[in-house]
Structure 1
Amino acid sequence: MTNKVSHSLTYRDAGVDIDAGDALVDRIKPLAASTMRPGVMAGIGGFGALFEVPKHLKEPVLVSGTDGVGTKLRLAFEWNRHDTVGIDLVAMSVNDILVQGAEPLYFLDYFACGKLSVDTAAAVVGGIARGCELAGCALIGGETAEMPGMYPDGEYDLAGFAVGAVEKSEIIDGKSIQPGDVVLGLASSGAHSNGYSLLRKIIETTGAKPTDDFHGRPLVDVVMAPTRIYVKSALAAIKQHASAVKGLAHITGGGLLDNVPRILQAGLAARLYREAWEMPALFRWLQEGGRVADEEMYRVFNCGIGMVVVVAADQAHAVAATLNENGEQVFRLGEIVERAPEEAQTVVV
């Protein structure tokens, strides 16, 4: 026999607070408004977001990318640091579509939780809006899902995707890369959003605390530093040196060893010189604390290089100068060489 409840059930009784969701939308709207750019036709609040393809492109090609933040979120929960992971979310997608020469146009996010905290969600979305500002794209929509029983209290998951556009004739695909080309590296802002499962394991085994002093800064600030967004500086260099910039690689999961080969033809390899840049203190600490082998470091972490740019040798200095002028720290990492049989496509010597 079915027992009846003593009162009329509501969605709130089931764990979903519609009023909190509405309050969050009200908090989000001004954040999204700050990211608006030409092309936005309809944004936050509708069933779908509208964006007009840029008219200045003769043969526009849309480029899209999607990603999350990974296990960096576990530290966000444990250390109560929610204001920067939104920047990470945007960065992981816009940096990916940037490597093909695309200008990011708009971004949408998905925020899922068990019980909605308006303050926490607003902090996360505030970071997303900041990331969109840094990338020059519009935050035109998203989804907040409150799903009781799916996530522990205080935890959430994030995903997002970016759409950009590039002139068909100006797509950067790495096909023109040849032996003798120079490999430039753009400095990262930290571990970005990759390798955090190993990073967390090292924190656990070393007993490090978020409040520990790390070269004059709290460890939490160093570990949770948001992923650097390279869009505006790289697009400036591409525009000024179109014929010189032959390929870009976003150094994400897989580190230097697995990401640079993604833009190389089968008969080519990138030879990088470890003395060309100094591994930042965070990575030196991780390597020492976890007794991590060199090859594992280069395969898991960015090791201080967040974006690689392959350029023609005779214009390497000029491209580096433009990147420097636009705020990047640039290293001349090495060069492209012919690949020997059975040789890896990226070697650090």
Structure 2
Amino acid sequence: MADQCDTLQPILNSDETEGSSTVHSKDGRIKRRLSFASEKNSRTAEESSMTCRLLSLQSVSDGSNSYRLSSEIDERRTDLIKISLESNNGTDVKGVPREEHSVPNTEEKENSSELPDIQGKTETEETSGPDVRKDTNFEEQDAEVVRKAQEEGCVDVVFPGAVTQDGCYRFVSEILKCILYQRQQLPMTYDQLVYSQKKLQTSKQERGAVTRRPLHSADLDLRKCHQTLQELEELLQQLEVLFSMSRVPRVLLLMGGSLILPKEMYEVNMEALGLATGDQSLRASSCLRQLFRTLFVADLLSDNNPVRLMPTTVLALAHRECGVGWFRPKLQFKVPTRVKIKIITLSTEGHAAKGEDWQDYVWFQAPTAIKGFTN
């Protein structure tokens, strides 16, 4: 059985036959010759080619970077030899394609590593710088608002654009509600009063029983609240009509005393307010936020002295031929000068009251005064 089998006898004695093997048959003839690429020769050839490439790179580099480049080339040479050995064994280096197994330019590498740091510094300077300046500007503006309110009794609110005529009405109505509450003429805000009044009326309707019983203090307060709300709602409705019929540059709120000598006086001045319609005007909600933020920073309406209940009279400056019927014209009225007035000035940035002729405008007085109440 052993005599009939072919035998495989490799021949590895000489360099020429290294990596080859010959199959001898029983009769001595050559049946098949197998040859293999010499791993030693291939590795030597690849190492020599890599060394030549590295030496050429080392000779091209300038003299100033020669020492640093040579040390980095030695390190690269070792890495490349490892890469070539692994690639010959059939394994690729993770994340490194074979085409990219080359030595990068060290100067470009250093520059690229320095660029993110420089960009990061500039980005931090650009982002942090304006924010710090913005905060400083806001603090300076707030300090100036407080100083002007305390010393001059005036608050300036400058809008970045024009507003609508309806927006002017909303400014005046919200300022009126705020003053009545801040000056303790209303026990709570206008919106809270309306909500509580509706809630009480609903509860009464649900009970449905109408019985005659003596009036208590709670019932009297409820009647006062209902009467004050009715007067205030009527005033606000008529103010809206007036603003729709004429330009209203000034509004006065006189509290207590008389028209000649009130206890307190507030003015909403809108002479330098630019008017526009549609998309060319600012939203009233954003303007209201700016307005009340400035008012609360200025703290114009607070007073440590106790405030008693007093009637509030509203006067508005409008065109004499506007045709309004509810307000009564006061042709001889003059703004009182013997009482300290607190002015809220609303204006548009870059807009001045130039060419406005207010001679045809007269004061109109609301026929009813708002009477405050407490719970």
Instruction: Report the TM range for the smaller structure's normalisation.
Output: under 0.3
TM-score (norm 2): 0.19
Between structure 1 and structure 2, the one with the greater Rg is 2
- TM-score when normalising by structure 1: 0.20
Which of the pair is proportionally richer in strand? 1
If each structure's helix is expressed as a fraction of its own residues, which one has the higher value?
2
